[in-house]
Structure 1
Amino acid sequence: MPHPFLTWLLAFALALLVHSSPVATDSDANQVPLSVSDSRRVYEYHNGELPPTENTDGWIDPRLNGGRFIDFTTRRLGEPLNIIISALSDPYVLEESGFLDYSKSIGFAGECMGLHYGNIHDADLGDGLGRKPEHMLIRQHYPIIGTCWESVRGGHHFRAWRQNGTLANSGAWFIGASKEKDSSKNHQIDKDGYNVGRDYFVEHATAGSHWQGKWWKAEVEWREGLMPRGRRGINHGIPVDGRVAILKINRL
Protein backbone atom coordinates (compact mmCIF):
# COMPACT_ATOMS: atom_id res chain seq x y z
CA MET A 1 0.00 0.00 0.00
CA PRO A 2 1.47 3.44 -0.91
CA HIS A 3 2.63 5.67 1.88
CA PRO A 4 -0.19 8.10 2.84
CA PHE A 5 2.04 11.13 2.22
CA LEU A 6 2.87 9.97 -1.30
CA THR A 7 -0.81 9.30 -1.93
CA TRP A 8 -1.61 12.87 -0.85
CA LEU A 9 1.12 14.27 -3.08
CA LEU A 10 -0.17 12.34 -6.07
CA ALA A 11 -3.72 13.52 -5.47
CA PHE A 12 -2.52 17.09 -5.17
CA ALA A 13 -0.54 16.82 -8.40
CA LEU A 14 -3.52 15.37 -10.25
CA ALA A 15 -5.66 18.25 -9.04
CA LEU A 16 -3.22 20.60 -10.72
CA LEU A 17 -3.85 19.00 -14.10
CA VAL A 18 -6.67 21.48 -14.52
CA HIS A 19 -4.07 24.25 -14.56
CA SER A 20 -1.78 25.07 -17.45
CA SER A 21 1.07 27.37 -18.23
CA PRO A 22 -0.75 30.61 -18.94
CA VAL A 23 -0.85 31.88 -22.46
CA ALA A 24 -0.32 35.61 -22.71
CA THR A 25 -2.72 37.58 -24.81
CA ASP A 26 -1.44 39.91 -27.48
CA SER A 27 -2.44 42.87 -25.31
CA ASP A 28 -0.68 41.76 -22.11
CA ALA A 29 1.64 44.27 -20.47
CA ASN A 30 5.28 44.11 -21.55
CA GLN A 31 4.43 42.21 -24.72
CA VAL A 32 5.92 43.25 -28.05
CA PRO A 33 3.85 41.34 -30.63
CA LEU A 34 4.85 40.81 -34.21
CA SER A 35 3.04 43.02 -36.66
CA VAL A 36 0.89 41.53 -39.40
CA SER A 37 3.75 41.87 -41.85
CA ASP A 38 6.10 40.24 -39.31
CA SER A 39 3.91 37.16 -39.06
CA ARG A 40 4.01 36.84 -42.84
CA ARG A 41 7.80 36.97 -42.87
CA VAL A 42 8.09 40.09 -45.03
CA TYR A 43 9.89 42.35 -42.57
CA GLU A 44 13.45 43.57 -42.43
CA TYR A 45 15.76 41.45 -40.29
CA HIS A 46 16.31 43.04 -36.88
CA ASN A 47 18.01 42.60 -33.52
CA GLY A 48 20.63 40.16 -34.71
CA GLU A 49 18.47 38.02 -37.01
CA LEU A 50 20.17 37.18 -40.31
CA PRO A 51 18.76 35.91 -43.64
CA PRO A 52 17.92 32.18 -43.87
CA THR A 53 20.85 29.77 -43.79
CA GLU A 54 21.31 27.36 -46.68
CA ASN A 55 23.19 24.05 -46.96
CA THR A 56 23.01 23.06 -43.30
CA ASP A 57 23.87 19.46 -42.37
CA GLY A 58 21.24 17.48 -40.47
CA TRP A 59 18.52 20.15 -40.47
CA ILE A 60 16.92 22.70 -42.78
CA ASP A 61 16.37 26.33 -41.86
CA PRO A 62 12.55 26.68 -41.57
CA ARG A 63 12.75 30.26 -42.84
CA LEU A 64 13.73 29.07 -46.32
CA ASN A 65 10.10 27.99 -46.80
CA GLY A 66 8.24 30.55 -44.71
CA GLY A 67 8.69 29.01 -41.27
CA ARG A 68 10.29 30.54 -38.21
CA PHE A 69 12.21 29.81 -35.00
CA ILE A 70 9.39 31.11 -32.78
CA ASP A 71 6.36 28.90 -32.28
CA PHE A 72 2.75 30.11 -32.19
CA THR A 73 1.40 30.41 -28.66
CA THR A 74 -1.13 33.14 -29.45
CA ARG A 75 -2.06 34.78 -32.74
CA ARG A 76 1.10 36.88 -32.80
CA LEU A 77 3.24 35.75 -29.84
CA GLY A 78 5.30 32.61 -29.47
CA GLU A 79 8.15 30.87 -27.67
CA PRO A 80 11.63 30.24 -29.08
CA LEU A 81 12.64 27.01 -30.79
CA ASN A 82 16.03 27.15 -29.16
CA ILE A 83 17.39 23.61 -29.68
CA ILE A 84 17.76 21.42 -32.76
CA ILE A 85 18.53 17.70 -32.55
CA SER A 86 20.39 17.19 -35.80
CA ALA A 87 19.43 14.32 -38.10
CA LEU A 88 23.13 13.37 -38.01
CA SER A 89 22.44 12.07 -34.49
CA ASP A 90 22.04 8.43 -33.46
CA PRO A 91 19.14 7.14 -35.62
CA TYR A 92 17.50 5.65 -32.53
CA VAL A 93 17.12 9.15 -31.02
CA LEU A 94 15.43 10.39 -34.19
CA GLU A 95 12.54 7.97 -33.72
CA GLU A 96 9.76 8.83 -31.28
CA SER A 97 10.35 5.93 -28.90
CA GLY A 98 14.11 6.46 -29.00
CA PHE A 99 13.76 10.17 -28.38
CA LEU A 100 11.59 9.47 -25.34
CA ASP A 101 14.25 7.08 -24.01
CA TYR A 102 16.93 9.67 -24.64
CA SER A 103 14.86 12.29 -22.81
CA LYS A 104 14.71 9.99 -19.79
CA SER A 105 18.48 9.65 -19.86
CA ILE A 106 18.91 13.40 -19.33
CA GLY A 107 16.30 13.74 -16.59
CA PHE A 108 12.98 14.19 -18.41
CA ALA A 109 9.90 12.02 -18.93
CA GLY A 110 6.39 12.07 -20.35
CA GLU A 111 3.59 13.96 -18.67
CA CYS A 112 2.09 13.01 -15.32
CA MET A 113 0.23 9.70 -15.67
CA GLY A 114 0.31 10.13 -19.45
CA LEU A 115 -2.27 12.94 -19.30
CA HIS A 116 -1.64 16.01 -21.40
CA TYR A 117 -2.35 19.38 -19.89
CA GLY A 118 -1.36 22.86 -20.83
CA ASN A 119 -1.83 24.74 -24.04
CA ILE A 120 -0.98 23.17 -27.38
CA HIS A 121 1.60 25.18 -29.29
CA ASP A 122 1.96 25.17 -33.07
CA ALA A 123 5.18 25.60 -35.05
CA ASP A 124 5.95 26.09 -38.72
CA LEU A 125 9.19 24.28 -39.55
CA GLY A 126 9.07 25.24 -43.21
CA ASP A 127 8.61 21.60 -44.19
CA GLY A 128 5.41 22.06 -46.16
CA LEU A 129 3.09 21.03 -43.34
CA GLY A 130 2.38 24.59 -42.21
CA ARG A 131 1.62 25.25 -38.58
CA LYS A 132 1.46 21.90 -36.82
CA PRO A 133 0.84 21.09 -33.14
CA GLU A 134 3.64 19.98 -30.86
CA HIS A 135 4.57 16.35 -31.27
CA MET A 136 5.19 15.92 -27.55
CA LEU A 137 5.53 17.79 -24.28
CA ILE A 138 8.22 16.46 -21.94
CA ARG A 139 8.75 17.50 -18.32
CA GLN A 140 11.54 17.32 -15.76
CA HIS A 141 11.43 14.07 -13.81
CA TYR A 142 11.82 14.42 -10.04
CA PRO A 143 12.62 11.56 -7.60
CA ILE A 144 9.29 12.25 -5.84
CA ILE A 145 6.38 11.14 -8.09
CA GLY A 146 8.29 12.06 -11.23
CA THR A 147 6.76 14.60 -13.59
CA CYS A 148 3.67 14.97 -11.38
CA TRP A 149 5.92 16.82 -8.94
CA GLU A 150 7.00 19.17 -11.73
CA SER A 151 3.33 20.17 -11.93
CA VAL A 152 3.54 21.27 -8.28
CA ARG A 153 7.09 22.54 -7.91
CA GLY A 154 7.72 23.81 -11.42
CA GLY A 155 10.92 23.13 -13.31
CA HIS A 156 12.15 22.39 -16.79
CA HIS A 157 10.09 21.21 -19.73
CA PHE A 158 10.21 21.26 -23.51
CA ARG A 159 8.01 20.86 -26.55
CA ALA A 160 9.24 19.04 -29.64
CA TRP A 161 8.34 19.01 -33.32
CA ARG A 162 9.83 16.84 -36.06
CA GLN A 163 10.80 18.37 -39.41
CA ASN A 164 9.39 15.75 -41.75
CA GLY A 165 7.29 17.39 -44.48
CA THR A 166 7.94 17.04 -48.20
CA LEU A 167 9.59 20.47 -48.51
CA ALA A 168 12.11 19.81 -45.73
CA ASN A 169 12.22 16.17 -44.70
CA SER A 170 15.36 16.35 -42.57
CA GLY A 171 14.03 14.24 -39.69
CA ALA A 172 15.52 16.67 -37.16
CA TRP A 173 13.80 17.50 -33.89
CA PHE A 174 13.10 21.18 -33.18
CA ILE A 175 12.71 21.89 -29.47
CA GLY A 176 11.35 24.78 -27.45
CA ALA A 177 12.84 24.43 -23.95
CA SER A 178 12.04 26.60 -20.93
CA LYS A 179 11.85 26.69 -17.14
CA GLU A 180 8.58 27.49 -15.39
CA LYS A 181 7.68 28.66 -11.89
CA ASP A 182 5.73 26.57 -9.37
CA SER A 183 1.96 26.22 -9.22
CA SER A 184 1.59 29.12 -6.77
CA LYS A 185 2.91 31.37 -9.57
CA ASN A 186 0.45 29.81 -12.03
CA HIS A 187 3.32 28.17 -13.95
CA GLN A 188 4.55 31.41 -15.45
CA ILE A 189 7.84 31.13 -17.33
CA ASP A 190 10.71 31.86 -14.94
CA LYS A 191 12.93 34.91 -15.22
CA ASP A 192 15.22 34.29 -18.24
CA GLY A 193 13.37 30.97 -18.44
CA TYR A 194 13.84 30.36 -22.18
CA ASN A 195 17.61 30.74 -22.12
CA VAL A 196 17.86 28.83 -18.82
CA GLY A 197 15.70 25.96 -20.11
CA ARG A 198 17.80 25.61 -23.24
CA ASP A 199 21.07 25.67 -21.31
CA TYR A 200 19.83 23.04 -18.84
CA PHE A 201 19.01 20.66 -21.69
CA VAL A 202 22.35 21.28 -23.42
CA GLU A 203 24.34 20.87 -20.21
CA HIS A 204 22.86 17.44 -19.53
CA ALA A 205 23.16 16.34 -23.15
CA THR A 206 26.83 17.27 -23.49
CA ALA A 207 27.73 15.74 -20.10
CA GLY A 208 26.78 12.28 -21.38
CA SER A 209 23.87 10.11 -20.34
CA HIS A 210 22.52 6.56 -20.43
CA TRP A 211 19.24 4.69 -20.29
CA GLN A 212 18.66 0.92 -20.17
CA GLY A 213 22.09 0.00 -21.46
CA LYS A 214 22.30 2.71 -24.11
CA TRP A 215 24.85 5.50 -23.70
CA TRP A 216 24.97 8.88 -25.45
CA LYS A 217 26.99 12.06 -25.47
CA ALA A 218 26.13 15.17 -27.48
CA GLU A 219 28.24 17.69 -29.36
CA VAL A 220 26.91 21.23 -29.50
CA GLU A 221 27.20 23.97 -32.10
CA TRP A 222 25.85 27.39 -31.16
CA ARG A 223 24.18 29.46 -33.89
CA GLU A 224 23.18 33.11 -33.81
CA GLY A 225 21.07 34.94 -36.35
CA LEU A 226 18.32 32.33 -36.68
CA MET A 227 15.96 34.35 -34.51
CA PRO A 228 16.03 37.93 -33.21
CA ARG A 229 17.34 38.80 -29.78
CA GLY A 230 15.10 40.48 -27.24
CA ARG A 231 11.41 40.15 -26.49
CA ARG A 232 9.83 41.11 -29.82
CA GLY A 233 7.16 38.49 -30.58
CA ILE A 234 8.05 36.45 -27.46
CA ASN A 235 5.34 35.17 -25.12
CA HIS A 236 5.27 36.66 -21.58
CA GLY A 237 7.58 39.47 -22.70
CA ILE A 238 10.66 37.52 -21.55
CA PRO A 239 13.71 38.40 -23.69
CA VAL A 240 15.87 35.77 -25.37
CA ASP A 241 19.53 35.95 -26.35
CA GLY A 242 18.78 34.69 -29.88
CA ARG A 243 21.09 31.66 -29.70
CA VAL A 244 20.09 28.21 -30.92
CA ALA A 245 21.91 25.07 -29.77
CA ILE A 246 22.36 22.45 -32.50
CA LEU A 247 23.03 19.07 -30.93
CA LYS A 248 24.47 15.99 -32.58
CA ILE A 249 23.75 13.12 -30.21
CA ASN A 250 26.29 10.33 -30.58
CA ARG A 251 25.75 6.75 -29.44
CA LEU A 252 28.68 5.52 -27.38
Structure 2
Amino acid sequence: MHLLFIFLALAVNAFPITEVLQERSSVDYFDPRERGGSLLDSSAGLGEPLNVIISGKSSPQILTPSGFLKYAQAVGFSDGCLGINTSGEQQANLGDGHGLVGTMALYRQSFGIPGLGSCLETFTGGSHFRVWKQDRPDANSGALFLAVSREENLAHKHTIAPNGYNIGRCVFLLQSSMKGFIIMSFNLKRYTTTIQDITNLLEPGSQGVNHGISQDGIVKLLTITIS
Protein backbone atom coordinates (compact mmCIF):
# COMPACT_ATOMS: atom_id res chain seq x y z
CA MET A 1 0.00 0.00 0.00
CA HIS A 2 2.85 2.36 0.85
CA LEU A 3 4.48 1.76 -2.55
CA LEU A 4 1.15 2.38 -4.26
CA PHE A 5 0.84 5.71 -2.45
CA ILE A 6 4.31 6.75 -3.61
CA PHE A 7 3.52 5.72 -7.20
CA LEU A 8 0.28 7.73 -7.22
CA ALA A 9 2.01 10.77 -5.73
CA LEU A 10 4.71 10.67 -8.37
CA ALA A 11 2.14 10.19 -11.11
CA VAL A 12 0.21 13.27 -9.96
CA ASN A 13 3.41 15.30 -9.80
CA ALA A 14 4.22 14.26 -13.36
CA PHE A 15 1.23 16.15 -14.80
CA PRO A 16 2.01 19.82 -15.47
CA ILE A 17 0.01 22.44 -13.58
CA THR A 18 -1.18 25.47 -15.52
CA GLU A 19 0.34 28.56 -13.92
CA VAL A 20 -0.55 32.16 -14.71
CA LEU A 21 2.44 34.49 -14.80
CA GLN A 22 1.91 37.86 -13.16
CA GLU A 23 3.59 40.95 -14.51
CA ARG A 24 6.83 41.87 -12.76
CA SER A 25 5.92 43.80 -9.61
CA SER A 26 6.99 47.38 -9.03
CA VAL A 27 7.64 46.65 -5.34
CA ASP A 28 9.86 44.16 -3.54
CA TYR A 29 7.16 43.30 -0.97
CA PHE A 30 4.59 44.91 1.30
CA ASP A 31 5.30 44.91 5.03
CA PRO A 32 2.79 42.37 6.42
CA ARG A 33 2.60 44.22 9.75
CA GLU A 34 1.00 47.27 8.12
CA ARG A 35 -2.07 45.20 7.23
CA GLY A 36 -2.44 42.98 10.28
CA GLY A 37 0.11 40.34 9.31
CA SER A 38 3.34 39.20 10.90
CA LEU A 39 6.92 38.18 10.10
CA LEU A 40 6.36 35.15 12.33
CA ASP A 41 4.29 32.26 11.03
CA SER A 42 1.77 30.48 13.25
CA SER A 43 3.14 27.35 14.93
CA ALA A 44 2.03 25.84 18.25
CA GLY A 45 0.89 29.23 19.56
CA LEU A 46 4.21 30.86 18.70
CA GLY A 47 5.92 31.33 15.34
CA GLU A 48 8.96 30.73 13.17
CA PRO A 49 10.59 33.80 11.58
CA LEU A 50 10.00 34.57 7.90
CA ASN A 51 13.68 35.35 7.45
CA VAL A 52 14.06 35.30 3.64
CA ILE A 53 11.96 37.19 1.07
CA ILE A 54 12.09 36.56 -2.68
CA SER A 55 11.33 39.99 -4.13
CA GLY A 56 8.23 40.64 -6.25
CA LYS A 57 10.64 42.36 -8.67
CA SER A 58 12.13 38.95 -9.49
CA SER A 59 11.41 37.27 -12.84
CA PRO A 60 7.72 36.23 -12.80
CA GLN A 61 8.62 32.57 -13.48
CA ILE A 62 10.53 32.41 -10.17
CA LEU A 63 7.39 33.35 -8.28
CA THR A 64 5.40 30.34 -9.53
CA PRO A 65 5.46 26.95 -7.78
CA SER A 66 7.22 25.20 -10.66
CA GLY A 67 9.68 28.03 -11.29
CA PHE A 68 10.65 28.33 -7.65
CA LEU A 69 11.04 24.56 -7.38
CA LYS A 70 13.68 24.71 -10.12
CA TYR A 71 15.49 27.49 -8.30
CA ALA A 72 15.31 25.60 -4.99
CA GLN A 73 16.81 22.55 -6.71
CA ALA A 74 19.56 24.78 -8.13
CA VAL A 75 20.59 25.82 -4.62
CA GLY A 76 20.43 22.31 -3.15
CA PHE A 77 16.87 21.76 -1.92
CA SER A 78 14.01 19.51 -2.99
CA ASP A 79 10.27 19.30 -2.32
CA GLY A 80 10.25 16.45 0.16
CA CYS A 81 11.23 12.80 -0.04
CA LEU A 82 10.17 11.65 -3.54
CA GLY A 83 7.95 14.73 -3.67
CA ILE A 84 6.08 13.67 -0.51
CA ASN A 85 6.08 15.85 2.60
CA THR A 86 4.86 14.63 5.97
CA SER A 87 5.85 17.64 8.10
CA GLY A 88 3.19 19.42 10.15
CA GLU A 89 1.28 22.25 8.49
CA GLN A 90 2.02 25.84 9.47
CA GLN A 91 0.23 29.05 8.50
CA ALA A 92 1.25 32.66 7.94
CA ASN A 93 -0.52 35.99 7.54
CA LEU A 94 1.26 38.17 4.99
CA GLY A 95 -1.13 41.09 5.41
CA ASP A 96 -2.53 40.65 1.90
CA GLY A 97 -6.16 40.32 2.94
CA HIS A 98 -6.42 36.54 3.15
CA GLY A 99 -5.53 36.07 6.81
CA LEU A 100 -3.70 32.93 7.89
CA VAL A 101 -3.00 30.59 4.96
CA GLY A 102 -1.13 27.30 4.59
CA THR A 103 2.22 26.91 2.89
CA MET A 104 2.73 27.00 -0.86
CA ALA A 105 5.49 24.41 -0.48
CA LEU A 106 8.02 22.85 1.90
CA TYR A 107 11.59 22.19 0.78
CA ARG A 108 14.34 20.13 2.41
CA GLN A 109 18.09 20.11 1.87
CA SER A 110 18.88 17.50 -0.79
CA PHE A 111 22.68 17.13 -0.35
CA GLY A 112 23.23 17.22 -4.11
CA ILE A 113 20.78 14.38 -4.82
CA PRO A 114 17.54 15.94 -6.16
CA GLY A 115 14.43 13.93 -5.33
CA LEU A 116 16.19 11.47 -3.02
CA GLY A 117 18.57 13.59 -0.95
CA SER A 118 15.69 15.13 0.97
CA CYS A 119 14.84 11.59 2.15
CA LEU A 120 18.28 11.60 3.81
CA GLU A 121 17.52 14.98 5.42
CA THR A 122 14.40 13.48 6.98
CA PHE A 123 16.60 11.05 8.94
CA THR A 124 19.80 13.05 9.49
CA GLY A 125 18.40 16.55 9.89
CA GLY A 126 19.46 19.62 7.93
CA SER A 127 18.08 22.87 6.60
CA HIS A 128 14.53 23.25 5.35
CA PHE A 129 12.06 26.02 4.63
CA ARG A 130 8.38 26.73 4.07
CA VAL A 131 7.10 29.19 1.47
CA TRP A 132 4.12 31.57 1.34
CA LYS A 133 3.14 33.95 -1.46
CA GLN A 134 1.91 37.53 -0.93
CA ASP A 135 -0.63 37.78 -3.74
CA ARG A 136 -4.00 38.95 -2.44
CA PRO A 137 -5.65 42.29 -3.37
CA ASP A 138 -4.62 44.14 -0.20
CA ALA A 139 -0.90 43.56 -0.89
CA ASN A 140 -0.37 41.94 -4.27
CA SER A 141 3.42 42.10 -4.52
CA GLY A 142 3.84 38.49 -5.67
CA ALA A 143 6.77 38.18 -3.23
CA LEU A 144 7.60 34.84 -1.60
CA PHE A 145 8.18 34.75 2.16
CA LEU A 146 10.35 31.90 3.45
CA ALA A 147 10.66 30.54 6.98
CA VAL A 148 14.13 28.96 6.86
CA SER A 149 15.59 26.91 9.70
CA ARG A 150 17.86 24.01 10.54
CA GLU A 151 16.25 21.00 12.19
CA GLU A 152 17.56 18.09 14.21
CA ASN A 153 17.42 14.48 13.03
CA LEU A 154 14.51 12.07 13.27
CA ALA A 155 15.67 10.79 16.67
CA HIS A 156 15.18 14.33 18.01
CA LYS A 157 11.76 14.56 16.30
CA HIS A 158 12.89 17.31 13.89
CA THR A 159 12.99 20.01 16.55
CA ILE A 160 14.78 23.21 15.55
CA ALA A 161 18.53 23.06 16.23
CA PRO A 162 20.13 25.54 18.65
CA ASN A 163 20.47 28.86 16.78
CA GLY A 164 18.64 27.00 14.01
CA TYR A 165 16.85 29.99 12.47
CA ASN A 166 20.04 31.96 11.83
CA ILE A 167 21.96 28.84 10.78
CA GLY A 168 19.24 27.61 8.43
CA ARG A 169 19.06 30.98 6.69
CA CYS A 170 22.86 31.09 6.36
CA VAL A 171 22.95 27.57 4.86
CA PHE A 172 20.31 28.60 2.29
CA LEU A 173 22.48 31.58 1.30
CA LEU A 174 25.76 29.65 1.43
CA GLN A 175 24.34 27.16 -1.04
CA SER A 176 23.66 30.19 -3.22
CA SER A 177 27.31 31.28 -2.62
CA MET A 178 26.69 33.87 0.17
CA LYS A 179 27.67 36.84 -2.01
CA GLY A 180 25.83 40.05 -2.70
CA PHE A 181 25.65 39.22 -6.41
CA ILE A 182 25.32 35.67 -7.71
CA ILE A 183 25.17 34.14 -11.18
CA MET A 184 24.51 30.43 -11.49
CA SER A 185 23.21 28.01 -14.11
CA PHE A 186 20.91 25.02 -13.62
CA ASN A 187 18.78 23.02 -16.08
CA LEU A 188 19.81 25.35 -18.92
CA LYS A 189 18.60 28.39 -16.98
CA ARG A 190 20.82 31.21 -15.78
CA TYR A 191 19.92 32.78 -12.44
CA THR A 192 21.23 36.17 -11.36
CA THR A 193 20.54 36.94 -7.71
CA THR A 194 21.14 40.06 -5.65
CA ILE A 195 20.92 39.97 -1.84
CA GLN A 196 20.12 42.74 0.64
CA ASP A 197 19.83 42.79 4.42
CA ILE A 198 16.53 44.09 5.82
CA THR A 199 16.76 44.93 9.54
CA ASN A 200 13.43 46.62 10.32
CA LEU A 201 10.96 43.76 9.81
CA LEU A 202 11.80 41.25 12.55
CA GLU A 203 12.54 42.07 16.17
CA PRO A 204 15.77 40.33 17.21
CA GLY A 205 15.50 37.94 20.13
CA SER A 206 13.22 35.08 21.08
CA GLN A 207 9.97 36.80 22.03
CA GLY A 208 7.09 35.01 20.31
CA VAL A 209 9.52 32.68 18.52
CA ASN A 210 8.84 28.95 18.47
CA HIS A 211 11.00 26.85 20.84
CA GLY A 212 12.26 30.06 22.49
CA ILE A 213 15.24 30.16 20.12
CA SER A 214 16.73 33.62 19.63
CA GLN A 215 17.31 34.99 16.12
CA ASP A 216 19.18 38.07 14.92
CA GLY A 217 16.24 39.91 13.30
CA ILE A 218 17.84 40.04 9.84
CA VAL A 219 15.69 39.25 6.81
CA LYS A 220 17.50 38.51 3.56
CA LEU A 221 15.84 40.02 0.46
CA LEU A 222 16.70 38.16 -2.76
CA THR A 223 15.91 39.49 -6.23
CA ILE A 224 16.28 36.68 -8.76
CA THR A 225 16.38 37.18 -12.52
CA ILE A 226 16.21 34.35 -15.08
CA SER A 227 17.97 34.65 -18.42
Whether the TM-score (by the shorter chain) exceeds 0.5 is: yes
Structure possessing the higher relative contact order (Cα contacts under 8 Å, 6 or more residues apart): 1
**Counterpart of 1:200?**
171
**Counterpart of 2:207?**
232
TM-score (norm 2): 0.82
Q: Which runs of 5+ in 1 are unaligned?
A: 1-10, 15-55
After superposition, the C-alpha distances for 1:58-117 in whole angstroms (9 at most, x for unaligned) are 211101100010000022x00000000001112211111100001000000111122221
**Counterpart of 2:23?**
none
**Counterpart of 2:122?**
151
Cα distance in 2 for residues equivalent to 1:246 and 1:213: 25
**Counterpart of 1:6?**
none
**Counterpart of 1:117?**
86
Cα distance in 2 for residues equivalent to 1:57 and 1:142: 34
Match of 2:30 among 48, 60, 68: 60
Q: Which runs of 5+ in 2 are unaligned?
A: 7-25
**Counterpart of 2:97?**
128
Match of 1:85 among 43, 54, 60: 54
Match of 1:215 among 178, 184, 190: 190
Cα distance in 1 for residues equivalent to 2:191 and 2:174: 13
CA offset at residue 225 of structure 1? 1.9
Cα distance in 1 for residues equivalent to 2:76 and 2:35: 34
2:145 matched to 1:174? Answer: yes
Cα distance in 1 for residues equivalent to 2:185 and 2:90: 29
Cα distance in 1 for residues equivalent to 2:32 and 2:173: 21
Cα distance in 2 for residues equivalent to 1:190 and 1:101: 27
The question of whether the paired residues in 2 share the 8 Å contact of 1:178 and 1:194 is answered with: yes
User: Partner amino acid for 1:101?
Assistant: K
After superposition, the C-alpha distances for 1:148-196 in whole angstroms (9 at most, x for unaligned) are 0010111010000000111001100000000111112221111111011
TM-score (norm 1): 0.75
User: Partner amino acid for 2:187?
Assistant: Q
| CA RMSD, 1 decimal | 1.8
**Counterpart of 1:32?**
none
User: Partner amino acid for 2:91?
Assistant: D
The question of whether the paired residues in 1 share the 8 Å contact of 2:79 and 2:85 is answered with: no
CA offset at residue 210 of structure 1? 2.5
Cα distance in 1 for residues equivalent to 2:107 and 2:183: 19
Sequence identity, in percent?
A: 38
2:47 matched to 1:74? Answer: no
CA offset at residue 237 of structure 1? 0.9
Match of 2:157 among 178, 186, 191: 186
User: Partner amino acid for 1:183?
Assistant: L
Which secondary structure state, in structure 2, belongs to the residue aligned with residue 113 of structure 1? Answer: coil
Count of aligned pairs? 198
Cα distance in 1 for residues equivalent to 2:190 and 2:199: 29
After superposition, the C-alpha distances for 1:17-58 in whole angstroms (9 at most, x for unaligned) are xxxxxxxxxxxxxxxxxxxxxxxxxxxxxxxxxxxxxxx932
